[in-house]
A and B are shown apart, each in its own frame.
Chain A
Amino acid sequence: MTETRMDGKVIMNEDRQNRIASWEAVQQGFRGTGYIADRAIATTVYLAWHLGKPILVEGPAGVGKTELAKTAAAFLDLPLIRLQCYEGLDEAKALYEWKYGKQLLYTQLLKDKLDEIVSRDNGFAAAIDKLHRYDDIFFSRHFLEPRPLLKALEHPGGAVLLVDEIDKADEEFEAFLLEILSEYQVSIPEIGTVSAASRPFVFLTSNNTRELSEALKRRCLHLFIPFPDAALERRIVRSRVPDLPEKLEKQLVSFIQEIRGLDLKKAPSISETIDWARVVVLLHAERLTTEVVRDTLHVFLKYQDDVHTVEERMPQLAPLLLRNDAG
């Protein structure tokens, strides 16, 4: 590494440290990128960065868990490397894989060379002996395909690593993550231990479809993002859909808040609120009438049963719309 690059890196790091100097700074910065973070979120991000700990983010679907990692990447000006978890995810998909095809191709191409090496010696044992001196070539960096985890470790200058929906992965995968999360290094049998060039900032998200292991939780700071209260949700909608008239925004948010109280299969999340707000803007609706709501129910309700439930409740919910309309 050259002298100048070193300097550049140091300056960038300092800039980053300044940017994340306090939790208020984090909150401010996140607002700049359009993410409204409450105190708990900002504090946890601030702590995690300074303590060098991963953050485990839990909460219902669509409250902005993944978005948080994206925002942090944008805010810190770091590349975002994302690993989507699913059942059966293994090291080959998450960490690294050998490029079998390339290895094969090279052995074919180099066949003559190999012949040459081998044939010069007579005697089988001597040939094998000779080959042994070359065999590491095929298990070197050139034939290694880095997957997200390795990429995040090796990225010069650090990166934001997002391990999305960790609860979908198997329990062994969780165990496998432990080394990376606490030591920021991995062992590749053929090559050795790879340590992080610069410590990645790790976010893990979970929808709580199963309990994560104690060992994993112990290594992380824990952040729970619940559904936001009305005031916070309005701020979020305002920041994401600025075209929405204020009166509509108030109606819309209070309606969604009310609906969350109903017995639904899937309560609408912030992402659904935002979708709905966008749709309402596209429809050029002046205010939220019962008809408009009926027509757009499917935007924020994802099950037919839920749509029915809400339609049945419309007589009770309608006064709410009117009240906010008048206010």
Chain B
Amino acid sequence: MPRCSCATTRADPMDRVLEDFVTALRLAGVRISVAETLDACAAATLVGYGNRLLLKDSLGAALAKSGREKALFSDTFDRFFTEFSCNATVPGQEDDPSRDAPLPEDPLSRMLLQRDQAALAAALQEASRQAGIRSIRLPTQRSLYTVRILNALGIEGLDGAIRTLSGAGSGVSLAQADTLQAARQELTESVRRYVEQQLDLYGQGLVNQYLEDALRKTRLSHLEQRHFEKMGEMIRRLVKRLNDIHSRRRKAARRGHLDFKRTLRHNVPYGGFLFDPKWKQRKLNRPDVLVICDISRSMMRLVRFFLLFLYGLNEEILRIRTFVFCSNLVEVSDVFDRYPVEEAVDRLQQGADLPIVMGLTDYSRSLKDFRQQYLDAVTRRTTVLFLGDGRNNNADPDARILREVYQRCRRLVWLNPEPRSFWGTGDSEMKRFLPYCHTARECNTLDHLERVIGALLARTRH
């Protein structure tokens, strides 16, 4: 069986190359299992290493399993399988007197003087393996690995050879020493470049990891524009996990006990033989979520990520209606029905086609709007999520209206981007809203978002 070939020919150097490649891919963010690595080995054995493009297609089929992974794969493949170029051999002139001179004993010096590119490349591969280049992760390790590789290459021997040659004092050996000195410089330079390349391959993953950890704890309101895409990707991953967990539970709730009444009724045509058993089905409890967001400038970033998160969840596990307000309140659920989430959020941000006034934030007016038009939407099965900083520009927020919502709904959760200690300071009316919330939390990082939504799903789904 082709699958086993990899395991039995473990010593094959090409397999080791493949192993390194898989490591590089993993660090770049492609998830690869052991089984897939074996597939890749088998595929490579089948097509061989002769045709680069063919190898790329084959390994791609075995290792990269989504559009994103395909792109990462292609990039990593191109960087990994670049020819190592070493310009260390100085092109000597034809009439160079040192050409015919006897070669020194030192093997590295010989290679350099003989301009043996292939041998040099092979020596470098071996040296970098000895130096353990695969473990390079941080930019600060560059010089360490450069020195290690140079040592493994035998730079000391080269230095010795140069010293001896220049000490000999004859014209030929002096010329040879000069050539070697130049070559040494070139060699160091190439090794440094090589280490740079390897750092690119192996170090990226760790940097990513640091970045992600940091981003999870960054206040969304302070997030830089260049990290938006990364954030979107992290949200998608979290959402997928939540979807996976909760859709499975939904299915589990379907399995019930034997429904004897229905079974009897259904099997009457079979003369009373109970051929086709019917099972009791539990009704699915899909939480009804009603989201009311303050989209004034200070809140927009949080709202953006919050909605990306919420609408990423399966329709099957969550039913959502969304309202946004600033100076007045409008429903925007249909924007989300019509456009993909990201686009819908962008549209909200631009305020395209919405009858919303982006003046001063007016909680009073907005709550009145809600009471007047949408209060019916709140039932005892509804969870209301209110996103706002509670800052009403020193006007009366009419917090009493929130009480009506509070009394009708199942839960009212207020999410405030400000830390708790700021609530009620300045023009914040949080203290006046607090009595009408089942829970109020600080919410301004991805970690918070995940916790809030996780709790929402866990609490409402039983």
Chain A: residues with CB nearer than 8 A to chain B?
Answer: 23, 39-40, 43-44, 47-48, 50-51, 53, 55-56, 58, 100, 103-104, 107, 170-172, 208, 211, 213-214, 217-224
Given the contacts A23-B54, A218-B35, A222-B61, A51 and B275 also touching, CB distance less than 8 Å: no
Measured CB to CB, the nearest residue on chain A to B237 is A211
- List the B residue with the shortest CB-CB distance to A22: B47
**A51 and B251 form a contact (CB under 8 A):** no
Q: Which of B36, B61, B275 is close to A43, meaning CB atoms less than 8 Å apart?
A: B61
Other A-B pairs, 16, CB within 8 Å; known A103-B275, A222-B60: A40-B61, A43-B54, A43-B57, A47-B58, A47-B61, A50-B46, A53-B39, A55-B61, A58-B67, A100-B275, A107-B273, A171-B248, A208-B67, A219-B35, A221-B39, A224-B67
Sample of 6 A–B contacts (CB below 8 Å): A23-B54, A44-B58, A51-B43, A213-B244, A214-B31, A222-B61
Map CB proximity to A onto B236-273 as digits: 1 under 8 Å, 0 otherwise: 00001000100110010000000000000000001001
How far, in angstroms, from A220 to B240 measured CA to CA in the complex? 21
The complex places the Cα of A279 from the Cα of B409 at a distance, in Å, of 57
Q: A62 to nearest B CB, angstroms?
A: 17
Query: Are A104 and B57 in contact, with the CB atoms below 8 A?
Result: no
Q: B: which residues have CB within 8 A of A?
A: 2-3, 31, 33, 35-36, 39, 42-43, 46-47, 53-54, 57-58, 60-62, 64-67, 70, 240, 244, 247-248, 251, 270, 273, 275-276
- A103→B47 CA distance, assembly (Å): 52
Q: State in angstroms the CA–CA spacing of A223 and B73 once bound together.
A: 13
Are B62 and A47 in contact (CB-based, < 8 A)?
yes
Whether the Cβ atoms of A51 and B46 lie closer than 8 Å is yes
A204 to B240 Cα, complex, angstroms: 21
> Is B240 a contact of A211 with CB atoms below 8 Å?
yes
Contacts of A58 in B (CB 8 A): 66-67
CA A48 – CA B47 in complex, angstroms? 12
* Nearest B residue (CB) for A41: B57
The answer to whether A217 touches B65 (Cβ under 8 A) is yes
In the bound complex, do residue B275 and residue A223 qualify as a contact, i.e. CB atoms below 8 Å apart? no
B58 touches A43 (CB 8 A): yes
Cα–Cα, bound, A211→B3 (Å): 27
A100 CB contacts on chain B under 8 angstroms: 275-276
Least CB distance, A223 to chain B, in whole angstroms = 6
Contact B248 A44 (CB under 8 A): no
Residues on the A chain within 8 Å of B58, using CB: 43-44, 47
Most buried by B among A104, A170, A213: A104
* A131 CB to nearest B CB, Å: 14
Give bound CA distance, A253 to B61, whole Å.
29
Residues on B with C-beta less than 8 A from A51 are 2-3, 39, 42-43, 46
Chain B residues lying within 8 Å of A214, measured Cβ to Cβ, are 31
For the complex formed, measure the closest distance between the CB of B22 and the CB atoms of chain A, giving whole angstroms.
14
Residues of A within 8 A of B33 (CB): 218
Q: Within 8 Å CB of A213, what residues of B?
A: 244
Closest residue of chain B to A53 (Cβ to Cβ) is B39
Q: Across the interface, do A39 and B39 meet the contact criterion of CB distance under 8 Å?
A: no
What's the nearest-Cβ distance from chain A to residue B42, in Å? 5
**Contact partner of A223 among B2, B54, B61, B248, CB < 8 A?**
B61
Interfacial chain B residues near A222, Cβ < 8 Å: 60-62, 64-66, 70
CB distance from A220 to the nearest CB of B (A): 8
Q: Which residues of B contact A223 (CB under 8 A)?
A: 61
Contacts of A221 in B (CB 8 A): 39, 61-62
Tell me which residues across on chain B come within 8 A of A218, comparing CB atoms.
33, 35-36, 65
Q: Which residue of A lies closest to B55 (CB)?
A: A43
Chain A residues within an 8 Å CB radius of B270: 104
Q: Return chain A residues, CB-CB under 8 Å to B251.
A: 170-172
| Contact A47:B46 (CB < 8 A) given known A39-B54, A170-B251, A172-B251 | yes
Q: In this complex, which of B57, B64, B248 has the most chain A Cβ atoms within 10 angstroms of its Cβ?
A: B57
The answer on a CB contact under 8 Å between B2 and A50 is yes
- Shortest CB-to-CB span from B248 to chain A, Å, is 7
A100 to B62, CA, bound (A): 43
CA gap between A141 and B413 in the complex, in Å: 58
Closest CB-CB distance, A128 to chain B, in whole Å?
17
Partner of A40, one of B3, B36, B47, B60: B60
* Closest CB in chain A relative to B348 CB, distance in Å: 19
